[in-house]
Amino acid sequence: MGFFSFLFGRKKQTEKINPPAEDQSVKISESGAKFDLEIVEAYKRYHSDPSSDISLGIEDQNGKSVPPHVAYSQIFSEWAKIQSKWDRMSVLYEFWDNSQLEKLEDWQIIERYTKDRYATKSLNYFRKKVEGKDKLSVEELVAVSKLYRVLLDNDSALTYAEKAYEKFPGNDLAKVEYASVLHLSKDTVKREKSHQIIGDVLEKKMKQNDSQNIFDCFIFSENYLDSSVFAMAYLINGDADLEIWDYVAEEYYYCPVFRYEHAVKLSESENTGLRALAKLTSLSQEFPWFTTALQSTVKNIESMRVQLGKPEFMEKEYLEFKNNFQR
């Protein structure tokens, strides 16, 4: 099946309905319910296992069931102040570190740090605990390849992705990562090979998931494809609207190139210039080695200064990014 044959049209919502105002008790109740779901989701993501089963089963001294947001009220209070999903996840990852970190396998620890936007910490762990092993599992090879992609070292990523594909040719994890790295190549033959590999895997996944929406296949769930590269490729080539970009973006918040392209999409859309700048700013702060993002952020701040008539707008960030870029 061809690379672009999965692309589809999606009807855009034309009318927005404003919900009625809610009192504070309702908001707290809804926030608590959301926390109770996210703490379980964080556990599954922390273990890189969408199918993992967990029941918190918290009880008070009388044997009465207690919801997580009540049992862990301090964590809930911190979580409730955070808007960004992955900043909330970071709080929950730290919570799970207390009881789960020592239970993780090496590849899970690499992914835990990579997806929590601690790529340098992930790299240090890899070099200390994994790099010297005689044999690496498919999960380790794939996790290291993803890490190097986040660090924008595509040559090193290819080394590990290729090993994974050569040693485990029938493994979908290996196929997806190898295809992802090949797609980044400027070599036409390699890119065509990547499209063939991902097309075969994607067709199978869509049948397994019984889904008509290609982007559902890239969202954390059983049998999903963990590829920011192809999620981004389908978004761009399918001319997806902002609603779909936002839907997929939460999945690949750890990927600097994906976040950059999301910011580009925002900058090209109507009335989203400040939101684009906010995304570029956080991206440049979290991934200071991404020079393209640094350049764009500096230029966007300069442009916004002219528009607003404020020559010192975001002066602190402006100097920070210029210094990082000039190093």
Instruction: Average the pLDDT over 95-111 and give the result.
Output: 97
Higher-confidence position of 303 and 98: 98
Using CA atoms, how far apart are residues 226 and 224, in angstroms rounded to an integer?
Answer: 6
**Residue 65, SS3?**
strand
Torsion of CA 247, 249, 254, 260, to 10 degrees: 180
Higher-confidence position of 134 and 258: 258
Instruction: Average the pLDDT over 54-70 and give the result.
Output: 86
- pLDDT at position 304: 87
- pLDDT at position 19: 44
Q: Is the pLDDT of residue 6 over 90?
A: no
State percent of the chain over pLDDT 90: 72
Instruction: Average the pLDDT over 43-59 and give the result.
Output: 90
Confidence of residue 28 (pLDDT cuts 50, 70, 90): low
Confidence of residue 25 (pLDDT cuts 50, 70, 90): low
Instruction: Average the pLDDT over 36-46 and give the result.
Output: 97
Higher-confidence position of 181 and 321: 181
Using CA atoms, how far apart are residues 262 and 265, in angstroms rounded to an integer?
Answer: 5
pTM across the whole model:
0.88
Confidence of residue 16 (pLDDT cuts 50, 70, 90): very low
**Residue 59, SS3?**
strand
Using CA atoms, how far apart are residues 118 and 287, in angstroms rounded to an integer?
Answer: 9
Q: Is the pLDDT of residue 56 over 90?
A: no
- End-to-end, the C-alpha distance of the chain in Å comes to 46
Q: Which residues contact 298 (CB under 8 A, 6 or more apart)?
A: 318, 321, 322, 325
Q: What share of the chain is helix, strand, coil (3-state, %, to 5)?
A: 65, 0, 30
The mean predicted confidence, pLDDT, of the chain is 89
Confidence of residue 7 (pLDDT cuts 50, 70, 90): very low
Amino acid at 150: V
Measured CA angle at 69 (ends 67, 74), to 5 deg: 140
Long-range pairs for 181-187: beta carbons < 8 A, 24 or more residues apart: 181/145, 181/149, 181/154, 181/157, 181/229, 182/158, 183/229, 183/230, 183/233, 184/149, 184/154, 184/157, 184/229, 185/154, 185/158
Fold of 105-239: 1.25.40
User: By mean pLDDT, which of 15-24, 57-66, 287-296 is the weakest?
Assistant: 15-24
Q: Is the pLDDT of residue 288 over 70?
A: yes
Query: In this structure, what are the phi and psi dihedrals at residue 282, rounded to the nearest 5 degrees?
Result: -65, -35
Q: Is the pLDDT of residue 114 over 70?
A: yes
Tens of pLDDT along 189-226?
A: 999 999 999 999 998 888 877 767 889 999 999 889 99
Q: Is the pLDDT of residue 10 over 50?
A: no
Please choose, from the candidates 93, 130, 99, the residue with its C-alpha nearest in 3D space to the C-alpha of residue 112. 93
Q: Is the pLDDT of residue 21 over 80?
A: no
